[in-house]
Amino acid sequence: MLIFVTQSSMLIIINLVVAVNSYCNSVLRLLLLVLFGWYIPLLPAGILFLLLYINIIVISLMPLLIVRVFIIAAVQMAFGGEIEELPSNVCGVIENVEAGENSKTYVICGLEPEEAKRAFTLLQLFNTDSAADVSLST
């Protein structure tokens, strides 16, 4: 699913939604591994422990990603600039030049349908800028 966002400040929110969602998914996977992993007869113990360690590393690094998003947002709000470094979930930028209006639409992709719907709902809630436009496409 794709989300189209025409305001660069809205990218901060979508980035936070994706980061928090990934963090929650990692915690859930780790819980499932700990609770039910011992009952999977096909997985050798070494692979199971490797999966546990990978999940623990991912969970411990996720808050750094979220903090990084906040730092980028703070710097941009302080200097009022455009987003220089696009988040990894932005797969394209469309230039809108109509009747003297010069704005950009950021295409956010790589989201699961549920993630996209949740992010779209949050973007609509936080959209206080009348110039910003948010749309969802399948």
Q: Would you kindly state where each structural domain of the chain is located, as residue ranges?
A: 2-137
Residue 117 structure tokens? 């719907």
Distance in angstroms (rounded) separating the CA atoms of residues 106 and 93: 5
10, two tokens: 């809205």
What is the pLDDT, as a whole number, of residue 107?
A: 72
Question: How do strand 2-5 and strand 134-137 relate by DSSP bridges?
Answer: antiparallel
- Predicted confidence pLDDT, tens digits, the chain (138 residues): 455 555 555 666 666 666 666 677 777 776 766 666 555 555 566 666 676 677 677 667 766 666 666 666 666 555 555 555 565 666 666 666 565 555 666 677 767 777 777 777 766 666 655 556 666 665
